[in-house]
């Protein structure tokens, strides 16, 4: 029995296992394969959910040009999260691997060596990757709102406001002549 704290015995520490890290290029290659695989489902989801704008431009020579713009940040995020949840949590030899990671021969490994589970994937992909992107987009929106507000409150004047003394009704100061 090992001496413990508060009467509880301490378990022996597990041996520290170090896994080799994948190179930057193998990670980029794996991501590119995954993005290529998700391109068609992404385009299909944008069309199905009508998350695009169709704009017509008339050029000076009279030709009409059509431009499509996708408004699909939430579709991209949900599609990616669903993909990695299903694929990274597979049971068997390919646990911790997306199809791109399989092609690059790399995998996601937990610190304790256990199989990658839903909690690990949600923390890694949802909180670690998607949340910072959402907060970054939110910070840009807040910046635009602050700029619009600051420009609207100083319109017609140059510079900052001059401080004024508060007025009291009925109290006036007069110069006394001698």
Tell me: the pLDDT tens digits for 34-70? 999 998 888 888 888 777 788 888 888 888 888 887 7
User: pLDDT tens for residues 136-146?
Assistant: 777 777 778 88
Domain presence at residue 34: yes
| N-term to C-term CA, the chain | 101
Report the domain count for the chain. 1
Domain presence at residue 167: no
pLDDT score at 25: 94
Domain presence at residue 67: yes
User: Which residue range(s) make up the domain with 134?
Assistant: 24-153
Neighbours of 80 (CB within 10 A): 18
pLDDT score at 44: 86
pLDDT score at 130: 74
Residue 162 or residue 76, greater confidence? 76
Domain presence at residue 146: yes
Domain presence at residue 174: no
pLDDT of residue 169 exceeding 80, the answer is no
Domain presence at residue 113: yes
Stretch 118-143: mean pLDDT: 80
CB–CB of 69/35 below 8 Å? no
What is the C-alpha to C-alpha distance for residues 13 and 71, in angstroms, rounded to an integer? 50
- pTM over cut 0.75: no
User: pLDDT tens for residues 89-122?
Assistant: 998 899 999 999 999 999 898 888 888 999 998 8
Residues 6+ apart with CB under 8 A from 65: 56, 57, 58, 59
DSSP string, 84-151: HHHHHT-SSTTTT--HHHHHHT-----TTSPPP-HHHHIIIIIIIIIHHHHHHHHHHHHHHHHHHHHH
pLDDT score at 102: 94
Domain presence at residue 99: yes
Domain presence at residue 10: no
pLDDT of residue 156 exceeding 90, the answer is no
């Amino acid at each position: 029995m090992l001496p413990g704290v508060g009467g509880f015995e301490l378990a022996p520490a597990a041996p520290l296992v170090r896994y080799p890290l994948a190179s930057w290029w193998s990670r980029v290659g794996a991501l590119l394969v995954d993005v290529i695989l998700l391109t068609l489902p992404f385009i299909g989801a944008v069309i199905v959910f009508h998350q695009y704008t169709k704009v017509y431009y008339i050029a000076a020579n009279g030709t009409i040009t059509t431009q499509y713009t996708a408004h699909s940040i939430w579709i991209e995020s949900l599609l990616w999260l669903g993909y990695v949840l299903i694929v990274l949590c597979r049971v068997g030899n390919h646990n911790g691997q997306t199809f791109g990671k399989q092609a690059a021969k790399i995998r996601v490994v937990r610190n304790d060596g256990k199989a990658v589970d839903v909690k690990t994937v949600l923390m890694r992909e949802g909180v670690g990757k998607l949340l910072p992107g959402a907060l970054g987009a939110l910070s840009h929106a807040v910046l635009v709102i602050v700029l619009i507000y600051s420009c609207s409150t100083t319109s017609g004047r140059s510079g900052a406001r001059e401080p004024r003394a508060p007025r009291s009704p009925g109290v006036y100061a007069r110069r006394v002549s001698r």
